[in-house]
Amino acid sequence: MTTENTIRVNGETEALAEATTLSVLLADKGVDAGAKGVAVALNGRLVQRATWAETPVAAGDVLEIVQAKQGG
């Protein structure tokens, strides 16, 4: 795969069929965007939750999705 049609999510390369938004990508991954403890960085910058619906994700982007878990 080339970066022309891929993204990296949490260190793993994934195919990206078309440009999308961050909120759609999270939903596709089964991440509850409304849950507490979810944070997303896009290309090294933290993305504010209020902008996830309009934040574009395109080929070549690098994302880190963090979900805090309770426990010890």
Give 3's pLDDT tier (boundaries 50, 70, 90). low
Q: What is the pLDDT of residue 1?
A: 47
Q: Rounded CA gap, 55 and 49, in Å?
A: 10
**pTM (2 d.p.):** 0.85
State pLDDT tens for residues 18-54. Answer: 889 999 999 999 999 889 999 999 999 999 999 999 9
Q: Rounded CA gap, 26 and 10, in Å?
A: 12
Domains and CATH numbers, the chain: 6-67 (3.10.20.30)
